[in-house]
Amino acid sequence: MHGFGFSSEVFKTFPGVKIDLPFHGNSKLKSKSLRALAQEIALRIPNNSTVVGWSMGGTLALLLALLFPSKVKALLLIGATACFPCLWDRKNLKGFLLRLRKEKEKFLKEFRERAYPKPFDAKVELEGALELLEDYFSTDLRSYISHINKPILLLHGTEDPIVPLRGALELYNLSRRAKLITFAGGHFPENEAIILKVLKGLKYL
C-alpha cells in the first residue's frame, strides 16, 4: 500500500496484490478515513497476508493488523510511523494542507520530488485525497501498537525528510515484535532491491 500522492505504481516490480488508495491512481475505493479504509481492504485481501505499507500506507497497515489480525501474517513498513502528527508542529501540517489546496498539482509535484527518488506521474483526485490526508494528520496509534502481535519489519531512511527516523524508532520501541533496518537515503529507497531482500527475510521471523 502506497503513500499519499502516489499510486500502486511505486510497487509495480513487486509480487502480490497492489492496492491504489482512494482518489489515487485507478482506485475504486471511496473511504475518507483510514479506519474505514482498513475495513475495505480487509475484504479484498486473503488471510495471513504479508502486508507492505509505505508512509501513510504503513499507518494503514498497522490499522489493518490491529482491527483484522487474521488478515495479517507480518508487516513490512517503509518510512512509516504510528503517529505522523507527533513528528511535526501543528502549523507545519496546516501549512502543508493550505499549500496543497492553493497550489494543487504544482505543490503535489514538489512533494513527490521530496518523497520519491524517481519522476512520478499518476493521477490524484486532490479533493478526496485531502480528506484522507487530514485523517492521517490526526491519527495516533501509539497506545495500540503493543496489541499488534505480528512480526513488524521497519525499513527507514536515515535522511527521511517526510517521516523523520525518530518516528520509526518510537514505533520500534512500542512494539514487542519489531525489527528496524535503516538505509542511507530518504523516504523511499533509491535501490528497490533492498525492499525485496527484506521481504524475503520476513519469512524467517
Instruction: For residue range 9-27, list pLDDT tens digits in order.
Output: 999 988 889 999 999 999 9
99-141: per-residue pLDDT in tens? Answer: 999 999 999 999 999 999 999 998 999 999 999 999 999 999 9
pLDDT above 70 covers a percentage of the chain that reads 99
Maximum distance among all alpha carbons in the chain?
47
Element (H, E) at 53: strand 49-54
Of 150, 143, 103, 145, nearest to 5 (Cα)? Answer: 103
pLDDT level of residue 203 (50, 70, 90 thresholds): low
Cα within 13 Å of Cα(80), Cβ side: 32
Strands 178-183 and 72-78: unpaired
Give me the mean pLDDT over the 37-61 stretch: 96
pLDDT value at 199 more than 90: no
Q: Cα–Cα distance between 166 and 66 in angstroms, integer?
A: 22
pLDDT value at 205 more than 60: no
Check: CB of residue 187 under 8 Å from CB of residue 160: yes
C-alpha grid cell for residue 41? 481492504
Give me the mean pLDDT over the 63-70 stretch: 97
Q: At what angle do helices 90-103 and 126-136 cross, to 10 degrees?
A: 180
Q: Cα–Cα distance between 117 and 182 in angstroms, integer?
A: 16
| pTM score of the predicted model | 0.95
Q: Phi and psi (nearest 5°) for 54?
A: -115, 130
Q: Cα–Cα distance between 150 and 21 in angstroms, integer?
A: 23
- State residue 36's pLDDT score: 97
